[in-house]
Amino acid sequence: MNPPSCSDDEFGANECNNNIAISMHEKGGGGGGGGGVLPKRIIVVRHGESQGNLDPGAYTTTPDHRIPLTSQGISQARLTGSQIRHLISSSASSPDWRVYFYVSPYARTRSTLREIARSFSKKRVIGVREECRIREQDFGNFQVQERMNAIKETRLRFGRFFYRFPEGESAADVFDRVSSFLESMWRDIDQNRLNHNPSNDLNLIIVSHGLASRVFLMRWFRWTVEQFELLHNFGNCEFRVMQLGSGGEYSLAVHHTDEELLEWGLSPDMVADQKWRANGSRGTSNDQSPRCLEAFFDLIPDSDEESEYTEDKTNSSSEFTEDKTNSSSECSEQ
């Protein structure tokens, strides 16, 4: 079956339906309201070892998007394919499960997908889409190694999320295009553009890059910039499984252990949130993790009575200060 084609407006950030994205998160990251059925899993995979991972000097003469996999990277991708197939087939509620792939257009991600796909028959694959918005962070054009080393040192001091590479992108820029992709992906699901039979388990597999994958998770789970900065990069061909929990929320904690989440850089609060999502109901709030309210309004009182008391004290203090000022002024005039 051929994958559905995308109209041009889906690729423009200005055409994205923000209300859909908000609705998706309110309903557990992707569900309800449309004709589509929620995927059982969304699996995010980083490409296998590339020539650039083995020898950073490769970027000096080869454009980033043409960097190939090494022989080790090809082997990693084949192993990852068998691991993902085993994961899906061993816990499928339906024997007729299906997969749909999104893939970055870079040579190393396309090759990774090609090797992963060896583990799946054509019967199992309902489609694949090359998706430019999940490509690697743009580091500039040809990359001179000595200059890039100095630039990356500056990035560490500046902060990984907001630092923009000269002639390239920041992680914040990647966040914007990944957000646009996520909204289109949700429309694919909600409007069943994937032509998926709802009686079969659906698994979405996203073959992308290290930073783009972390940003995708950040966007989905609404992690803060500070939380993003804690995250470690995926290893080559490592993958993260976002699985639908019993209450309709997607969570990393359904498949992965607490130890794995902590090893990847999630804080204890972030792990607690993932565990809540594994069983939490859509539309309910999670009181286990710190809320933004506490982060930004930690100085506000808990009740109206305390607020009135604080206001009275403030007014009294202001009046006292004003009286002192007036008295001092009169003394100086005398």
Known catalytic residues are 47, 136
H/E stretch holding 146: helix 145-158
**Token duo for residue 136:** 């690697």
Q: CA-CA distance, 233 to 292, in Å (whole number)?
A: 25
Residues 6+ apart with CB under 8 A from 144: 60
CA distance to 104, 106, 205, 250, per residue, from 109 (Å): 6, 6, 12, 25
Q: Where are the beta strands (DSSP E) in 6-59?
A: 41-46
Q: CA-CA distance, 64 to 135, in Å (whole number)?
A: 10
The answer to whether 84 touches 109, Cβ cutoff 8 Å, is: no
**Token duo for residue 324:** 């002192």
Residue 40 DSSP class: S
Count each helix (H run) and each strand (E run) in the chain, helices first. Answer: 13, 6
Residue with tokens 């305390």: 306
The answer to whether 106 touches 64, Cβ cutoff 8 Å, is: yes
CA distance to 88, 89, 197, 316, 319, per residue, from 39 (Å): 12, 14, 11, 60, 62
Amino acid at 242: M
Q: CA-CA distance, 262 to 17, in Å (whole number)?
A: 34
The answer to whether 188 touches 25, Cβ cutoff 8 Å, is: no
The answer to whether 214 touches 233, Cβ cutoff 8 Å, is: yes
